[in-house]
Chains A and B, each alone.
Chain A
Amino acid sequence: GENVEQHPSTLSVQEGDSAVIKCTYSDSASNYFPWYKQELGKRPQLIIDIRSNVGEKKDQRIAVTLNKTAKHFSLHITETQPEDSAVYFCAVGSNDYKLSFGAGTTVTVRA
């Protein structure tokens, strides 16, 4: 499958600060880039996604940016809250709809 690298592996932020997670991919045919949030013992939950014809998408405190030329995309969480603490996974998809996942980022929001 697609090779997806995700950084950082862990991220600790003060409540109210911003968090940024970055992913890179290798296949230029990739055209779908979702982000999932997984709380301990729970299922991965889709929080935002972007397609290759869009450079940026925002949903309240969450935004995703995509740079297709450089083959990287990022998740931005602003005004972080304790409930944002979780593991976040980026993923990459293409026309066959299969997803390749990054290794995950454990985000801890300190109160």
Chain B
Amino acid sequence: SAVISQKPSRDICQRGTSLTIQCQVDSQVTMMFWYRQQPGQSLTLIATANQGSEATYESGFVIDKFPISRPNLTFSTLTVSNMSPEDSSIYLCSGGANGETQYFGPGTRLLVL
């Protein structure tokens, strides 16, 4: 299994600012994904982080709002840009060595005031 860490674990931000979340995996993984989870809700896929190329976004999510980088097979970042209170949520990354089996990071709790 892959061990995944995220930084920061939580943050409180002012509206209009941006926050970059880092995701680090302890081994090389084929696939990495970013999810959002509202309190008490399920997980919604934001995008697939592709190594060496642009991320693939799900319906309702756009690159200008959620730019993603994946410079190598163990690291990815998600930026939440021009934040509003509606962006308050938990952001989780996931990854898996064989692509299919995914393990999650601990999440980043974001509160936008």
Residues of chain A touching chain B, judged by Cβ–Cβ distance below 8 Å, are 1, 32, 34, 36, 42-46, 49, 89, 93, 96-104
Contacts and interface: CB of A to CB of B under 8 A. Distances in A.
Contacts of B42: 89, 101-104
Interface string B10-48: 000000000000000000001101000000011111001
A102 to B, nearest CB: 7
25 contacts: A1-B45, A1-B58, A42-B106, A43-B92, A43-B105, A43-B107, A44-B92, A44-B104, A45-B104, A89-B42, A89-B43, A93-B100, A96-B48, A97-B31, A97-B99, A98-B33, A98-B45, A99-B33, A99-B43, A99-B45, A101-B42, A101-B44, A103-B41, A103-B42, A104-B42
Contacts, number: 49
B45 A46 contact: no
A110 B107 CA distance: 29
A31 to B, nearest CB: 9
A93 B30 CA distance: 15
A43 B42 CA distance: 12
A45 B101 CA distance: 11
4 interchain residue pairs of minimum CB distance? A97-B99, A43-B104, A101-B43, A101-B42
Given A1-B58, A43-B105, A43-B107, A100 B100 contact: no
Contacts of A96: 48
Residue of B31, B42, B44, B58 with most chain A CB atoms under a 10 A cut-off: B42
